[in-house]
Structure 1
Amino acid sequence: MSSPDKPKADIASQILEQDSQDRQALALLLDRHLARNDRLLVQKTQMGSTEAFIGSVTLEWLDSRVRFASQLPLFRQKFDPQTDNVIRDEETVDEILQRPLDWSRQAPLTQYLAARQAHKFPAVLVVHSPTWVDNPKAKEWDKQGRARQSAADFIPLDQNQTVGLLDVSPSVSIFALDGQHRLMGVQGLMTLLKTGRLQRYNKNKKPVGSVITIDDLIDEYQLDPAYLQRLAQEKIGIEFIPAVAKGETRDQARRRVRSIFVHVNLMALRLSKGQLALLNENDGFSIVARKIAVNHPLLKEVPGRNPRVNWDSATVAAKSTVLTTLQALNEMSQRYLDHPFPRWKPPEKKGLIPMRPDDEELEAGIDTFNQFFDHLASLPSYQRLEQGEETPQLRRFSFEKNGGEGNILFRPVGQIAFTQALGIVVFQKKLSLKMVFKKLCKYDAEGGFSQMETPQSLWYGVLFDPNKKRIMVSGRDLAARLLIYIIAGTEDGMEKAELRRELAEARTIEGKAVGFNGKFVKPRDVGLPPVL
Structure 2
Amino acid sequence: MVIKTENHPNDLAKQILEQESRDRQALALLLDRHLARNDQILVQKTHMGTTEAFIGSVTLEWLAIRVRYASQLPLFQQKFDQQTNNIVRDADTIEALQQRPLDWSRQAALAQYLAARKTHKFPPVLVVLSSGWVDNAQAAQWDKNQRARQSAAEFTSLDKDRTVGLLDVSDHVSIFALDGQHRLMGIQALMELIKIGTLQKYSKGKKPIGSLITVDDLIEEYHISPGYLQSLATEKIGIEFIPAVVQGETREEARRRIRSIFAHVNLMAVRLSKGQLALLNEDDGFSIVARKIAMTHPLLREMENRNPRVNWDSATVSAKSTVLTTLQALKHISELYLGYQFCHWKPCEKGLIPMRPEDEELEMGTKTLTELFDYLASLPSYQKLDHGKETPQLRRFNHERGGGEGNMLFRPVGQIALVQALAILVFNKDFSLKTIFEKLQKYDGSGGFSQIDHPQSPWYGILYDPNRKRVLVSGRELASKVMLYLLGGVTERMERAQLRIAVANARSVGKDQGISFEGKFVKLKEVGLPPQL
- TM-score bin, normalised by smaller chain: over 0.9
Q: Tell me, yes or no, if the aligned pair for 1:111 and 1:353 is still in contact at 8 Å.
A: no
Indicate the residue corresponding to 2:223 in structure 1: 222
Change (3 A) 1:210 1:305: farther
Structure 1 position 6, deviation (Å):
7.4
Indicate the residue corresponding to 1:310 in structure 2: 311
Indicate the residue corresponding to 1:492 in structure 2: 492
Deviations 1:218-274 (A, max 9, x none): 333222232122111110011111111111111222222222222222222111111
Residue 529 of structure 1 pairs with residue 513 of structure 2 = no
C-alpha separation in 2, matches of 1:272 and 1:167: 41
C-alpha separation in 1, matches of 2:402 and 2:207: 51
AA aligned opposite 1:302? M
Structure 1 position 529, deviation (Å):
2.5
Change (3 A) 1:202 1:296: farther
AA aligned opposite 1:414? G
C-alpha separation in 2, matches of 1:197 and 1:481: 43
Structure 1 position 208, deviation (Å):
4.9
C-alpha separation in 2, matches of 1:246 and 1:489: 74
Deviations 1:500-519 (A, max 9, x none): 23222322333223221222
Indicate the residue corresponding to 1:399 in structure 2: 399
Indicate the residue corresponding to 1:243 in structure 2: 244
Change (3 A) 1:206 1:522: farther
Q: How does 1:82-481 map to 2 (within 5 A)?
A: 82-348=83-349, 352-481=352-481
Indicate the residue corresponding to 2:79 in structure 1: 78
Where 1:429 maps in the other structure, the secondary structure is coil
C-alpha separation in 1, matches of 2:224 and 2:156: 42
Q: Tell me, yes or no, if the aligned pair for 1:212 and 1:351 is still in contact at 8 Å.
A: no
Structure 1 position 199, deviation (Å):
3.8
Structure 1 position 438, deviation (Å):
1.2
Where 1:303 maps in the other structure, the secondary structure is coil
Structure 1 length normalisation: TM-score?
0.93
> Structure 1 unaligned runs (5+)?
none
Change (3 A) 1:66 1:369: same
Moved more, 389-398 or 44-53: 44-53
Q: Tell me, yes or no, if the aligned pair for 2:102 and 2:181 is still in contact at 8 Å.
A: yes
Change (3 A) 1:455 1:105: same
Where 1:28 maps in the other structure, the secondary structure is helix
Where 1:508 maps in the other structure, the secondary structure is coil
Moved more, 124-133 or 103-112: 103-112
Structure 1 position 165, deviation (Å):
1.6
Structure 1 position 11, deviation (Å):
6.1
Change (3 A) 1:407 1:14: closer
> Structure 2 unaligned runs (5+)?
none
Q: Tell me, yes or no, if the aligned pair for 2:106 and 2:351 is still in contact at 8 Å.
A: no
Structure 1 position 492, deviation (Å):
2.3
Structure 1 position 82, deviation (Å):
3.6
C-alpha separation in 1, matches of 2:210 and 2:326: 32
AA aligned opposite 2:426? V
C-alpha separation in 1, matches of 2:200 and 2:308: 45
AA aligned opposite 1:115? A
Change (3 A) 1:20 1:352: closer
C-alpha separation in 1, matches of 2:506 and 2:495: 17
Change (3 A) 1:351 1:6: closer
Q: Tell me, yes or no, if the aligned pair for 1:489 and 1:531 is still in contact at 8 Å.
A: no
Q: Tell me, yes or no, if the aligned pair for 2:74 and 2:135 is still in contact at 8 Å.
A: yes
Moved more, 485-494 or 142-151: 485-494
Residue 45 of structure 1 pairs with residue 46 of structure 2 = yes
C-alpha separation in 1, matches of 2:353 and 2:11: 63
C-alpha separation in 1, matches of 2:490 and 2:313: 39
C-alpha separation in 2, matches of 1:528 and 1:120: 53
Moved more, 18-27 or 474-483: 18-27
Q: Tell me, yes or no, if the aligned pair for 1:504 and 1:523 is still in contact at 8 Å.
A: yes
Q: Percent identity?
A: 68
C-alpha separation in 2, matches of 1:223 and 1:289: 30
Deviations 1:10-61 (A, max 9, x none): 6665555544444333323222221211111212222333222111101111
Where 1:488 maps in the other structure, the secondary structure is coil
C-alpha separation in 2, matches of 1:456 and 1:200: 52
Structure 1 position 448, deviation (Å):
1.1
Moved more, 308-317 or 453-462: 453-462
C-alpha separation in 2, matches of 1:276 and 1:302: 24
Change (3 A) 1:471 1:80: farther
Structure 2 length normalisation: TM-score?
0.93
C-alpha separation in 1, matches of 2:61 and 2:43: 18
